[in-house]
């Protein structure tokens, strides 16, 4: 099975986000929307749901009207395929390329691919500068922009909000804890400062570790899990710390899939 974690550049029109969720149905495992990032993260269970979400988002939203703190190249900004259970990275790459070709040919949206060839930060730096799309036209779609379509292993998206910190503090902390396993940004979100992270090897460096590293450098207001976490990452952490880290058994990939499967059975 492949999980698809689509990031769309819309986090404020929550009524429209809900309409999309209702249209797709049980294949939506989780949604996390953020006003300041102006971004919604959809965790999906099937590639067909990924196509539905792409088509609906392209119809409803316009990149020209978008303002948010998170880097982006398009409305359907990031579409990573993630192998679960007995799926492999080869399966994810195959799904990635099929999706990128579909977006380019059926929707005329250019797609940059990441995975074994290059990572996502490289696309963000080079897209339409000295890097042309792997699929589709060599120019951005007028309202949708472009799509970064990936094949990757499971990661954990994780934010830590700071107390009484400046943006300089946030950027310094982000630099200090950044590593091969942790991608970071220090962001000003309204009056608050956030260290936004992707834990790309969460079995090696997970939420507990980065929380404690940030706590050494600043007072923490709260932690925030974006999306879902693998059960194995959760169970490696003492249960007494789950609430502090914004973790729970209900927020695991496995729990979300089990809820989906029960709902699907009830439809039969």
Chain centre distance of CA 24: 18
Q: Which residues contact 126 (CB under 8 A, 6 or more apart)?
A: none
Q: Annotated catalytic, 70?
A: yes
Q: What does R_g of the chain's alpha carbons equal in angstroms?
A: 18
Distance (Å, whole) CA 45 – CA 139: 30
Alpha-carbon dihedral 142, 116, 105, 11, rounded to 10 degrees: -40
Active-site option among 26, 66, 70, 105: 70
Q: Which of 202, 206, 216, 166 is nearest to 187 (CA)?
A: 166
Encoded tokens for 126: 């080079």
Specify which residues 222 forms β-bridges with.
Answer: 161
**Cβ of 154: how many Cβ atoms within 10 Å?**
21
Check: CB of residue 169 under 8 Å from CB of residue 162. Answer: yes
Residues classed as catalytic: 70
């Amino acid at each position: 099975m492949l999980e698809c974690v689509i990031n769309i550049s819309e986090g404020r029109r929550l009524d429209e986000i809900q309409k999309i969720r209702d249209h797709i149905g049980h294949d939506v495992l989780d949604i996390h929307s953020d006003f300041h990032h102006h971004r919604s993260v959809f965790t999906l269970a099937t590639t067909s749901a990924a196509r539905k979400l792409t088509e609906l988002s392209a119809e409803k939203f316009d990149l020209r009207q978008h303002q948010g703190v998170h880097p982006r190249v398009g409305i359907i900004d990031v579409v990573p395929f993630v192998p679960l259970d007995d799926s492999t990275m080869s399966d994810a790459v195959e799904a990635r390329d099929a999706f990128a070709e579909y977006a380019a040919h059926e929707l005329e949206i250019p797609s940059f691919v990441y995975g074994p060839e290059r990572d996502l930060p490289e696309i963000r730096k080079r897209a339409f500068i000295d890097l042309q799309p792997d699929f589709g036209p060599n120019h951005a779609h007028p309202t949708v922009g472009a799509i970064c379509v990936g094949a990757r292993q499971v990661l954990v998206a994780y934010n830590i909000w700071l107390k009484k910190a400046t943006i300089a503090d946030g950027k310094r902390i982000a630099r200090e804890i950044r590593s091969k396993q942790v991608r970071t940004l220090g962001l000003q979100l309204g009056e608050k400062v956030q260290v936004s992270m992707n834990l790309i090897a969460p079995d090696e460096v997970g939420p507990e570790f980065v929380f404690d590293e940030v706590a050494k450098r600043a007072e923490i207001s709260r932690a925030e899990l974006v999306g879902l976490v693998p059960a194995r990452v959760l169970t490696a952490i003492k249960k007494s710390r789950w609430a502090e880290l914004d973790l729970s058994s209900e927020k695991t990939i496995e729990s979300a899939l089990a809820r989906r499967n029960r709902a699907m059975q009830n439809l039969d």
